[in-house]
Amino acid sequence: MPQAHSSVPPSDASAAPSPKAGSARHLRIAIFGFGTVGSSVARILVESKPQGLELTHVFNRKVARKRVTWAPASIVWSEDADAVLASDVDVIVELAGGLDPAGSWVRRALEAGKSVVTANKKLIAYHGIDLERLAAAKGGHLKYGAAVAGGIPVIPGLEQGMAGDRIERLEGILNGTCNFILSKMEEGAEYAAVLAEAQAKGYAEADPTEDVGGFDARAKLAILMRLALRVQVEPEEIVPRSITLITPVDFSYARDLGCTIRQVSRAQQVEGRIAAAVGPMLVALRSPLAWSQGTENMVIASGHYGGDVVFSGHGAGGHPTAVAVVSDLLALAHGSRRVEIPSAPASLGDEFEVPHYIRFLVKDRPGIVAAITTALAKEQINIRAIVQKAGYPSDALPFVVTVEPCKSSALKRALAHIRSMDCMLVEPLDLQMLE
């Protein structure tokens, strides 16, 4: 299969001359999108005055309401994207998000030979390869260190710090909103109340589906798979699972099992077979993933030679993300070049073979456990434990079955039979258990 490249070096060194040692190329910068992150980027550029970086333009719809008193009078505030793109700026910092019109702005900037720095994970997940090729062909650069895990240097770490290893597995917490909700539920709060708190604090959108449904995390996972596992996977191939089915009783049972629950994104490649998943999972309390609280993010990259490397920190918020953006701008000003990382188109064709946690809610009667055991045995799935807590009514009784490592497809077939039992009050909840 012919190989594509997830990162393409500049095709014309003269188009982007490297500064002399100790000096920085002067870059005129335009920010597209003056929200939480955009204003934080501007604040760093204005207050810290990083060498070689000059903020000259800010674009935003209804830009008059975005003006700030601390910004220099020399900055051009505009709601005309065409005029800013046609100006003499060297770098467009795209922080509006989404595929359109942000994608159009990025393409036009690259076509004009400008460089682009972005935190737009969806744009990079779906169109990153094409945009990198365009940047190389036109003599510009595309950098997106802030697209995954905000201010945590995961992408630079994979591109440079771990480029010499063969990474075989990724596991991580990539969505701060979900981590905030689940870590609060771990303390005993109800989902609806925590979601409202997250929205009030600006951690969650009015429509939180992108976050709680796992769609945000899968876009980030697709980017990391390209950089770490060297495979190009369409994000839609990764079917995410929502955290909305998790209840306080699941945390209670998880504690009994020495675990907690987090939204985990994971991928692995074994002998060319690729598996990926995003959703709530049980993680052992001794795992670093269990230590991540609030809006923190974490990524564990497992290398064939170097072993596990953990990236952890504040993955959300204006200031942490802005630090990653400004770091990319400084890299451009100092002439740094990205490591060329080959990657090839691939499809998911494998499953994780792991233990599972299955929570049932039933109207109690004799023979339920026997019927469940029979359905699992038919698929060659062995039961590890049956856990039932006291104090629940017999007409709405939650209990948990954990099973030995098995394929998700086999468990899915068993649960299809189990859910048809007339004692089942809700769909059984099936979660992977990380060991």
Which residues have a catalytic role annotated?
A: 220
In the Cβ-directed half-sphere of 179, how many Cα atoms lie within 13 Å?
26
Residue position matching structure tokens 């809700």: 426
Contact (Cβ atoms closer than 8 angstroms) between residue 248 and residue 187: no
Cα–Cα–Cα angle for 28, 33, 39, nearest 5°? 75
Contact (Cβ atoms closer than 8 angstroms) between residue 120 and residue 102: yes
Single-letter code of the amino acid located at 131: L
End-to-end CA distance of the chain: 34
Three-state DSSP state, 22: coil
Beta-carbon contacts of 264 under 8 Å, excluding residues fewer than 6 positions away, are 171, 172, 173, 277, 278, 279, 280, 281, 283, 289, 432, 434
Q: 3-state SS of the chain: helix, strand, coil percent to 5?
A: 35, 25, 35
Question: How far from 170 is each of 223, 245, 267, CA to CA, in Å?
Answer: 12, 25, 5
Q: Report the alpha-carbon distance of residue 219 to residue 205 in Å, rounded.
A: 17
Provide the token pair at 284.
């052992």
What letter does residue 18 receive in the DSSP assignment?
P
Beta-carbon contacts of 42 under 8 Å, excluding residues fewer than 6 positions away, are 31, 34, 55, 58, 68, 71
Question: How far from 422 is each of 241, 360, 361, 369, 425, CA to CA, in Å?
Answer: 25, 13, 12, 13, 8
Contact (Cβ atoms closer than 8 angstroms) between residue 333 and residue 19: yes
Return the closest-CA partner of residue 2 out of 165, 276, 162, 232: 232
In the Cβ-directed half-sphere of 242, how many Cα atoms lie within 13 Å?
9
